[in-house]
Amino acid sequence: MDIVLWIVGYLISLLFWLWILRWGGAAWLEGWKAWAVIGWFSGHWRAEQIRLYALILFILETIGFVAGLFSPTIRLAGLEI
């Protein structure tokens, strides 16, 4: 994957997680919308639980992003999933 696409993909993901963490997205997602957007396991979560999930995934994605900046192999492995 091209480095520019890697960065653009991360920025889009970053905006999504920031919306959940900071801009009221967690409260909006409570209930069936969390089930539809995040996954079947989150349908009964409260906003705090959704924020925690978003924070954990944000941290993991950031680690993967930084690793992918320095290793094209990691960027290519992401396409095969």
* The two structure tokens encoding residue 69: 């900046």
The confidence band for 40, taking pLDDT boundaries of 50, 70 and 90, is confident
Return the pLDDT at 2: 80
- The boundaries of the domain holding residue 42 are 3-79
Return the pLDDT at 32: 78
Number of structural domains in the chain: 1
Here the contacts of 55-63 (C-beta below 8 Å, separation 24 or greater) are: 55/17, 55/21, 57/17, 58/14, 58/17, 58/21, 61/10, 61/13, 61/17
Return the pLDDT at 37: 81
